[in-house]
């Protein structure tokens, strides 16, 4: 069973980290990724650039509209994700809780949709 762990973080906190703090955070994420890999649970994972570097695209009635992002007006924004493969939701929630993001932001756990079902 695959789950997406969507990482929602306060970008301001992230951007105001000094070099040492940033190094520490990177170290925590690396360690987390490694433990996912060692457990055989890691499928994929990507960090994202801050939401202000992205864009919102709509194409309603074939009219393309481009807006500055992000679309969720919240303090925390999607900062990256992991795709994991584990037996059930309890295992997914355990991994989510261990993610560095869970201690400062929010980790959303969402099952991957197997369209055949």
Partner 1 sequence: MRAEDSYTLAAETARTSYSRLVAILAARTRDVALAEDALAGAFQAALEHWPKSGVPTSPEAWLLTTARRTLIDGARHEAVRERVMPDLTMMTEEAHRLRDASEELFPDERLKLLFVCAHPAIAPSIHTALMLQSVLGLEATHIAKAFVVAPATMGQRLVRAKRKIKAAQIPFIIPEKDQLTPRITAVLEAIYVAFSTGWDEAFTEASKSAGLADEAIWLARLVVQLLPENAEAKGLLALMLYAQSRKSARRNQAAYIPLAEQDTSLWDRTLIAEAETALRAASTLSEPGRFQLEAAIQSAHISGLLQGSVNWPAIILLYERLIRTAPSIGAQVAQASAVAMAGRADDAARLLEGISEQAGTYQPYWAAIAYVERSRGNYEDARTAYARARELCTDPAVTEWLAGKLAELG
Partner 2 sequence: MQYMIVAAESEEDMAARKSTEPGAFEAYMGPWFKYSTEMQEAGVTLSGNALETPDTATCVRVRDGKRQVQDGPFADTKEQLGGYFIIDVPSFEATKEWAAKCPAAATGLVELRKVATLEEEK
> Given the rule CB under 8 A, which residues bind partner 2?
2, 4, 6, 8, 26, 44, 46-49, 51, 53-60, 64, 66, 69-74, 76, 78, 80-81, 83, 89, 93, 96-97, 102-103, 105-113, 115
- Under 8 Å between Cβ of 7 and 79: yes
Task: Give how many residues touch partner 1 by CB under 8 A.
Answer: 8
Work out what residue 25 binds among partner 1, partner 2, none; the CB cut-off runs from 5 to 8 Å by kind: none
Q: Which is nearer to partner 2, 38 or 73 (CB)?
A: 73
Token pair listed for 85: 């493969």
Residues 89-108 that bind partner 1 (CB under 8 A): 89-90, 93
Work out what residue 55 binds among partner 2, partner 1, none; the CB cut-off runs from 5 to 8 Å by kind: partner 2
Interatomic CA distance for residues 94 and 11, integer angstroms: 24
Interatomic CA distance for residues 35 and 94, integer angstroms: 12
10 Å Cβ neighbour count for 45?
17
Closest listed residue to residue 33, CA positions, set 98, 105, 111: 98
């Amino acid at each position: 069973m695959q789950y997406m762990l969507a990482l929602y973080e306060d970008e301001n906190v992230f951007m105001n980290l000094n070099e040492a703090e940033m190094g520490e955070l990177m170290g925590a994420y690396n360690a987390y990724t490694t433990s996912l890999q060692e457990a055989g649970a890691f499928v994929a994972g990507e960090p994202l650039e801050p939401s202000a570097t992205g864009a919102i695209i709509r194409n309603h009635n074939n009219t393309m509209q481009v807006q500055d992002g992000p679309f969720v007006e919240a303090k925390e924004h999607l900062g990256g994700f992991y795709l994991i493969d584990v037996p059930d939701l309890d295992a997914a929630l355990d991994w989510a809780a261990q993610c560095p993001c869970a201690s400062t932001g929010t980790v959303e756990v969402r099952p991957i949709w197997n369209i055949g079902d």
